[in-house]
Amino acid sequence: MLALETIPGVRAAADAAAIDGMVVAEGAVVLRFAPDEVFIMFPKPGRELNEGFAQAIIARETGFVGCWLTLEELAARVVAHIDWALPVERPALAQGLVAGVPAKLWLESGRALLLCAAPYAHELTERLR
């Protein structure tokens, strides 16, 4: 059974151009959920986005749960439940239904992060048993 835990980060909604020009701390992982929305996982807690983003909404986000998977786990536990093709480039963000649950996959070359909104956590873990 996958153990999904809160993946804290900072979520920002801003103009697409502002996000394109965004500078984040070294080592931060930036997941571009949408042209005007990002989710940023900082290597150390407490880090913030640099200011200078016009009219952005910036919020500390603890509403996502997830877990890091090895490539073997990804193939064995998750890919079988996906009805769409994974992107080939790395890193890449993929979003869609995993076992019928809205979820996101952050694919790095050696590992992957499976994310979903907290209210879905129960069903996702049940379905990926």
Partner 1 sequence: MQRADRHPAPALAGPGRIVVDGAPVPYQAGDSVAMALIRAGAHPGRGGTLCLAGDCGNCVAEVDGIAWIRTCQADCRPGLAVERHPARGGPPLHPVAQPDVTRPPVARRIPVRRVSVDLVVIGAGESGTAAAANARLRGRTVLLLDAREDAEVVAIYGGPTVIVRSSTGMTHVHAREVIVATGAAELHPVCPGNGLRGLLTGRAAELLHAAGIDLGVAVAVGEPPRDVPCTVVAGRLVRIEGTERVSAVVTATGEGLAAAEVRTPCETLILGLGRAPRDLLARMSTGEPVAVIGPAAESFPLPPAPTAGIVCPCAGIGVDDLEGVWQRGFQELELVKRASLAGTGTCQGSVCLPHVRAWVASKSGTVPEPFTARPASRQVTLAEAAADVHLDVFKRTPLHDEHLALGGRLDRFGGWWRPWTYGDHVAEYWAVREGVSLGDVSTLGKLIVSGPDVVELLERIYPNRVGNLGPGRSRYALLLNERGHVIDDGMICRETETRFVLTFTSGGAANAEMWLRDWIETWGLKVQVMDRTMSLAAINVTGPLAGQLLGRAGLADPPRYLAHAHAEVAGVPCHVMRLSFTGEASFELHHPVDRSVELWRTLLDLGRDLGIRPHGLRNLFGLRLEKGHVIVGMDTELDSTPHRLGMDWAVRMDKPEFLGRSALARTALLPDSRRLIGLTMTSPVPTEGSPIWSDGEIVGHVTSSFDSPLLGRAVMLGWLKRTPFPEAVEIDGRRATVTRPPFYDPEGLRARA
Which spans of this chain sit near partner 1 (rule: CB under 8 A)? 6, 11, 13-15, 36-37, 55-57, 59-64, 80-83, 85, 99-102, 117-123, 127
Name the nearest CA neighbour of 66 among 129, 8, 1, 115: 115
CB of 100 to partner 1, least distance (A): 3
Q: How far are the Cα atoms of 47, 53, 112, 114, 124 from residue 107, in angstroms, in the given order?
A: 23, 27, 4, 9, 18
Question: Residue 24 or residue 38: which is nearer to partner 1 going by CB?
Answer: 38
Question: Residue 47 or residue 127: which is nearer to partner 1 going by CB?
Answer: 127
Whether cis (ω within 30° of 0) applies to the bond prior to 119 is: no
Neighbouring C-beta atoms of residue 9, cutoff 10 Å: 23
Question: Residue 25 or residue 84: which is nearer to partner 1 going by CB?
Answer: 84
CB of 99 to partner 1, least distance (A): 6
